[in-house]
Amino acid sequence: MSEQFKIIRFATIVCLICSILLAVVSSALSPRQEANKANDIKTKVLQVFGVTNELGKAVTGSAEIESIFSERITGLVLDAEGKVVAGKSVADLTPEEINAKDKATGLKQFYPLYIYTDPATSKKLYAMHVSGKGLWSTIKGYMALEDDLNTIFGMVFYENAETPGLGAEVEKPFFQDQFKGKKWLDSDGKVAEFKIIKPGGELNDHAVDGITAATMTGNGVEVFLNDDFTVYNKYFTQEGLRK
């Protein structure tokens, strides 16, 4: 047997062993990875609701997250018509499913809605998942509404691959905090078009300043916020939830 053949055989055996070990490790870690993904989603939902622990800090412990979700939060999955998808739970949705689009309509297939009930006041807050194209990437976030289903309570953008220092600034507090207190409805109760305007422009109840030199990212955020709110608003209207 030639030395060259021995080397090839040895390398093949090592590769096979490594492949088997990697497959075993990947299979063993898969449940933990899925649990981490689910916890990450729940952490962002709690963040947009402004839920903190006794020390006033973000809730990160798995047990505490699960406790708050089971006691205070109800989840629904809507379709593109604002109707509840029977037999589908927010807990079942993967990050990929949340952003998957129907090829025929171009609309997302699922729209998760989280309803938070304050244990002290029984006041409700509603968090919607919002996402769409910026300039270079899909931007994802959660937007929470007050119980009037009009006033924005909070905004959290949690994932993007926009230009660092420009479009990627959507995740910074200076941009997100502007949304708090803004409105979706005009004085006649009709849905207004929400705007991301150039910094220094004329603001109103339905507009926030964009990010300097990131106009295209702002335009993308504007489009998907309006598109996504249209779907969730169908549910609010159909169910007669708005006060």
The answer to whether position 184 is within a domain reads yes
Strands 207-209 and 195-197: parallel
- CA distances to 31, 154, 171 from 185, rounded to whole Å, are 43, 16, 25
The answer to whether position 1 is within a domain reads no
Summarize pLDDT for 15-71 with one digit per residue, the tens: 777 677 665 555 554 445 455 555 678 888 988 998 876 545 667 677 888 888 888
Number of domains in the chain: 1
The boundaries of the domain holding residue 115 are 6-238
The pTM assigned to this predicted structure is 0.82
- What is the pLDDT, as a whole number, of residue 61? 72
Summarize pLDDT for 185-208 with one digit per residue, the tens: 998 889 999 999 998 888 999 999
Which runs of consecutive H residues, i.e. helices, occur in the chain?
A: 3-49, 62-72, 95-99, 173-176, 215-238
Question: What's the Rg (C-alpha) of the chain?
Answer: 22
The answer to whether position 20 is within a domain reads yes
The answer to whether position 47 is within a domain reads yes
Summarize pLDDT for 116-125 with one digit per residue, the tens: 999 889 999 9
- What is the pLDDT, as a whole number, of residue 29? 45
The answer to whether position 243 is within a domain reads no
167, 136 Cβ separation under 8 angstroms: yes
The answer to whether position 72 is within a domain reads yes
46, 57 Cβ separation under 8 angstroms: no
